[in-house]
A and B are shown apart, each in its own frame.
Chain A
């Protein structure tokens, strides 16, 4: 039994560290950095903000904030998805038993430990994509991130996603509208 104590005690420093938050030494930035395709030059007034809003809305984005004087749009889109990596690393404790027989009623607490099923562990999740677009006098700039929330509403994944594919597609859509108004 003493050996068991020592195991727990030797784990203690690591457990203690779990609760700590390490302060970064510099302000974090996106890694990888936003793609070059997310910043492209335009002529003054060539891209109306309304066009950007229209393109975003046609892609199921919901506009959250705009400022016309700054040429700014912020939007987000939510979609249901399947989260494939839902294996809970921590065991789940729980269980409450209540039963009666032969005129006797008794209750008890049973302890059960279960690990999420192996292999087929996937659950429903919500994927939130947040995008901001700024149309300046000389250029258009786009940034984006993607977050995954599980069915409990807990954030499971968060990453920056200012990638070339998304920005190219958005740029093409915005410019296609200009060419054929």
Chain B
């Protein structure tokens, strides 16, 4: 009897893990921040590197920055910046060990980026 209960519990536990598994594309956090594309890229790189991220790729014309963090199991953050009517439009995505991270984790970073650019820095 108890064995059966344990078995069911195990199946439920594993089922919970499996439901997290499907590799959905990373959902981006989007927002508009003040400043030109170049200014936003400069500030994003500073923000990432202050936190120990190593920028692997950056292109001012394409408006892209990609950075990694050397902590287990490996993190990757990507920013896509395009000029918008007022300021720039930013799209941020994050992966952990190749799997997308929920976008709400990046909200504080988007806010930090906005406030830093708002200071005129």
Q: Please give the residue numbers on chain A whose beta carbons come within 8 Å of chain B beta carbons, in ascending order.
A: 5, 9, 12-13, 16-17, 19-21, 23-31, 33-34, 38-39, 64-65, 67, 69-70, 72, 74, 130-132, 134, 136, 141-147, 155, 158-162
Shortest CB distance A130–B (Å) = 5
Total interface residues in chain B, CB < 8 Å:
48
Shortest CB distance A23–B (Å) = 7
Contact with A along B14-55 (1 / 0, CB 8 A): 101100100000000000000000100110011011111111
For the complex of A and B, 3 pairs with smallest distance between CB atoms: A30-B52, A145-B70, A132-B55
Q: Report the separation of the CA atoms of residues A24 and B38 in the bound assembly, to the nearest whole angstrom.
A: 31
From known contacts A27-B109, A143-B52, infer whether A134 and B68 are also in contact, taking CB-CB under 8 Å.
no
Question: Helix, strand, loop or mixed for chain A's interface?
Answer: mixed
Residues of A near B1 (CB, < 8 A) are none
Shortest CB distance B56–A (Å) = 5
Q: Is the CB of B46 within 8 A of A141?
A: yes
Q: Is the CB of A70 within 8 A of B74?
A: no
Q: Report the separation of the CA atoms of residues A158 and B56 in the bound assembly, to the nearest whole angstrom.
A: 16
Q: Report the separation of the CA atoms of residues A136 and B55 in the bound assembly, to the nearest whole angstrom.
A: 14
B45 (CB) vs chain A CBs: closest residue? A134
**Interface hits, B71-106 → A, CB 8 Å:** 71-75, 77, 94, 96-97, 99, 101-102, 105-106
Q: Is the CB of A158 within 8 A of B54?
A: no
Q: Is the CB of B58 within 8 A of A143?
A: no
Q: Report the separation of the CA atoms of residues A19 and B13 in the bound assembly, to the nearest whole angstrom.
A: 10
Q: For the complex, is B3 an interface residue (Cβ under 8 Å from A)?
A: yes
The listed residue (A13, A34, A64) touching B52 by CB distance below 8 A is A34
